[in-house]
């Protein structure tokens, strides 16, 4: 229960949450910049090969960011939180992101 966790746990939850927010924001920024890149590539008309290379390069960067997000570990059980993006609950112990956020915002 969130009411029974120790101060050390709160600290661990807080660090985990900040790490999660950083990863999530990175993925959102990468996704938005990919859309912008699409517009840029369409306007610049560098030629098919360069367009394709830029898009493939950016997809790799995005996938790396997405992979980093899925590597986020659950602060309660210490295992990988989920193997998919945007999952709300830990696949190992069922802790939800909302519960982590609640613990972090208290105090
Ligand atoms: Zn867990």
pLDDT of residue 40: 85
What range defines the domain where residue 58 resides?
A: 2-105
- CA 81 to ligand 1 center in whole angstroms: 6
Cα dist. 31→2, 41, 75, 77, 101 in Å? Answer: 33, 15, 26, 30, 24
Q: Domain count of the chain?
A: 1
Proportion of the chain above pLDDT 70, given as a percent? 96
Per-residue confidence band for 63, with pLDDT thresholds at 50, 70 and 90: very high
The pTM assigned to this predicted structure is 0.82
Q: What is the mean pLDDT of residues 73-100?
A: 91
Per-residue confidence band for 19, with pLDDT thresholds at 50, 70 and 90: very high
- Which residues contact residue 69 at a Cβ distance below 8 angstroms, ignoring those fewer than 6 apart? 23, 24, 26, 27, 85
pLDDT of residue 3: 56
- CA 42 to ligand 1 center in whole angstroms: 43
- CA 104 to ligand 1 center in whole angstroms: 16
- CA 82 to ligand 1 center in whole angstroms: 9
Alpha helices in the chain (DSSP H): 7-44, 48-70, 97-105
pLDDT of residue 71: 93
């Amino acid at each position: 229960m969130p009411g029974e966790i120790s101060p050390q746990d709160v600290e661990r939850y807080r660090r985990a949450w900040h790490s999660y927010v950083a990863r999530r924001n990175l993925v959102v920024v990468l996704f938005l910049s990919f859309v912008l890149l699409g517009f840029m590539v369409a306007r610049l008309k560098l030629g098919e090969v360069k367009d394709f290379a830029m898009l493939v390069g950016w997809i790799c960067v995005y996938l790396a960011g997405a992979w980093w997000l899925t590597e986020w570990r659950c602060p309660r059980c210490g295992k990988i939180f989920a193997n998919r993006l945007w999952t709300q609950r830990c696949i190992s112990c069922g802790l939800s992101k909302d519960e982590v956020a609640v613990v972090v915002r208290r105090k």
